[in-house]
Structure 1
């Protein structure tokens, strides 16, 4: 099963959210339906970045790396590399 790490952005809060999942569409719907504790207040959330991973452990490691670096900084680095 493939997993992915994703970054969401809330215009109303001006904040990013980083997570990982095996079903991105379902997860995004849960965020925007207010069914997730940490993202309930920022709806609607916009998917701005996602990357596939071969395993959940790889996804968890990348999620942690992005959170430690900061989503905004991580995205800036990705733009420089692309």
Structure 2
């Protein structure tokens, strides 16, 4: 399974990050440990939303959509 997820900074609630991974239980602690350059300065993070996909490429397509302008609007309104 592949997961698309949205995390939100606890100390900076306006900061959110969307990502995809095959191991969600490992990935969130990596964000909180500062191992990602995109999320290191806004630690700690909390998981806001995730969705499982049986296909890696479908997950990556959905992640790309959520990072687009219309995808961010969709996530803000629906997720």
Larger helix percent: 1
Deviates more, 1:11-20 or 1:54-63: 11-20
Return 5+ residue gaps in structure 1 as ranges. none
Distance 1:70 1:43 in 2: 24
**Alignment CA distance shift 1:15-1:58 (3 Å):** same
TM-score by length of 2: 0.87
Partner SS, residue 34 of structure 2: coil
What is the alpha-carbon root mean square deviation over aligned residues?
1.5
What is the count of residue pairs matched by the alignment? Answer: 77
Query: What TM-score comes out, normalization by structure 1 length?
Result: 0.84
Provide the C-alpha distance between the structure 1 equivalents of 2:51 and 2:37, rounded to a whole number of angstroms. Answer: 23
Matched, 1:23 2:57: no
